[in-house]
Amino acid sequence: MSLYAFFGAVEQGLLFSIMALGVFITFRALDFPDLSVDGTFPMGAAISAILIFNGVNPWITIAIAVAGGAAAGAVTAILNTRFKILNLLAGILTMIALYSVNLRIMGMPNVPLLGFDTVFTSLENTGMPAYMANVFILGIVALLVGAFLIWFFHTEVGLALRATGDNMKMVKAQGASTNRMILIGVALANGLVALAGALAAQVQGFADVSMGIGTIVAGLASIILGEALISSVGVVRAVIGVIIGSIAYRIAIAMALTIKIGGVSLSPSDLNLITAILVVIALMFPGLRSKIGVVGK
């Protein structure tokens, strides 16, 4: 793998770690399998792209994208808590609805951003090479989001939110509303996923209505890979694990794409198959590790 490809993988890993941290809130902390992220990722991209296209400051477009994602997440949460729709289905309904909403937001299936200023071009203009500028900015955002989540999970609300994913009966008995926790958690998660979508649009130079397909699987793969590499004991290690898992996942994919089997080399269209195999290996890994005698808790 070339250095250029490596930087590309790290860039992708950092970008999607922000999304994976959102998925971590719902899947791991809340135990709420939220599939709306497949819709809120392109939603973030759509909002950011169309606003930049119309001359809005790229940083402001990110803030609006986060608010949009959080609002969509709130819809999923309310469908589940108020209207008693199964959490998995509530997420799917939001995801499907967002496909149309995203087309409305953009007014077209994709928005190109070539030639427009983004949060990345501002640093490139200082003379820094693009691949380094991207890694720099995405790295800072990923670290800030990670630090924010570690703080959040230790607040009064954060504790009640984690307990909600563990034991709702206990949370209610201690006077906290589990519905409120689900609302906060799913909204926050989708806000982060939309943030990742907005950054994706800006770093890639376009937003596309179908760019969200497989978001949830990539997020899960990162989380599981992180748990296999760094055991998930404790909130701090779990959050760091998600970021490292996301980078490892993108590097693994970049490496897999260079593999040649006989005359056939793998192509990006094989990505979903590679992801599935990676997740299986990562899920087997904790067992393998103890089998070969490496002490891991």
Partner 1 sequence: MISIDNVKKVFNRGTVNENWAVKGVSLDIKQGSFVTVIGGNGSGKSTLLNLVAGYLKPDEGRILIDDEDVSNVNDYKRASYIGIVFQDPLSGTAKSLSIEENLAIAMKRGKKRMFGMGVKSRDRDFYREQLRTLDLGLEDRLKDKAGLLSGGQRQALTLLMATLVKPKILLLDEHTAALDPKTADKILKLTIKLVNENNLTAMMVTHNMKQALNLGDRTVMMQLGKKVLDVDGEERSKLTVTDLLELFSRELGDEAYDAGML
Q: Of residues 94, 162, 222, 251, which one binds partner 1 by CB under 8 A?
A: 162
Q: Of residues 174, 258, 272, 290, which one binds partner 1 by CB under 8 A?
A: 174
Q: Under the criterion CB under 8 A, does residue 236 sit at the interface with partner 1?
A: no
Compute the least distance from the CB of residue 92 to partner 1, in Å.
Answer: 27
Query: From its phi and psi, is residue 262 left (phi > 0), alpha (psi between -120 and 50) or beta?
Result: left
Q: Under the criterion CB under 8 A, does residue 137 sit at the interface with partner 1?
A: no
Of the two residues 82 and 172, which places its CB atom closer to partner 1 in the complex? 172
Q: Under the criterion CB under 8 A, does residue 155 sit at the interface with partner 1?
A: yes
Q: Under the criterion CB under 8 A, does residue 171 sit at the interface with partner 1?
A: yes
Of the two residues 30 and 47, which places its CB atom closer to partner 1 in the complex? 30
Q: Which residues pair with 22 in a beta bridge?
A: none
Task: Look up residue 271 and give its two tokens.
Answer: 């990505």
Of the two residues 73 and 165, which places its CB atom closer to partner 1 in the complex? 165
Contacts of 41 (CB under 8 A, 6+ apart): 19, 193, 194, 196, 197, 200, 211, 212, 215
- Do the beta carbons of residue 187 and residue 78 sit within 8 Å? no
Q: Of residues 88, 107, 172, 276, which one binds partner 1 by CB under 8 A?
A: 172
Q: Under the criterion CB under 8 A, does residue 163 sit at the interface with partner 1?
A: yes
Q: Of residues 158, 185, 212, 241, which one binds partner 1 by CB under 8 A?
A: 158
Of the two residues 125 and 154, which places its CB atom closer to partner 1 in the complex? 154
Token look-up 């309310």 returns 78
For 281, other C-beta atoms within 10 Å of its C-beta total 14
Task: Look up residue 31 and give its two tokens.
Answer: 């135990």
Q: Of residues 55, 175, 268, 287, which one binds partner 1 by CB under 8 A?
A: 175
Q: Contacts with partner 1: how many residues (CB under 8 A)?
A: 23
116 burial via Cβ count (<10 Å: 0-12, 13-18, 19+):
middle
Nearest-CA neighbor of 61 among 194, 185, 250? 194
Span from 127-135, 152-160, 185-193, 287-295 in contact with partner 1 (CB under 8 A) = 152-160
User: How far is 57 from 119, CA to CA, in rounded Å?
Assistant: 9
- Do the beta carbons of residue 4 and residue 157 sit within 8 Å? no
Of the two residues 186 and 188, which places its CB atom closer to partner 1 in the complex? 188
Which residue type is seen at 64?
Answer: I
Compute the least distance from the CB of residue 73 to partner 1, in Å.
Answer: 18
For β-strands 264-265 and 260-261, DSSP reports them as antiparallel
- Do the beta carbons of residue 219 and residue 20 sit within 8 Å? yes
Q: Under the criterion CB under 8 A, does residue 144 sit at the interface with partner 1?
A: no
Question: Using CB under 8 A as the criterion, which residues of the chain lie in contact with partner 1 when the complex forms?
Answer: 152, 154-160, 162-163, 165-167, 169-178
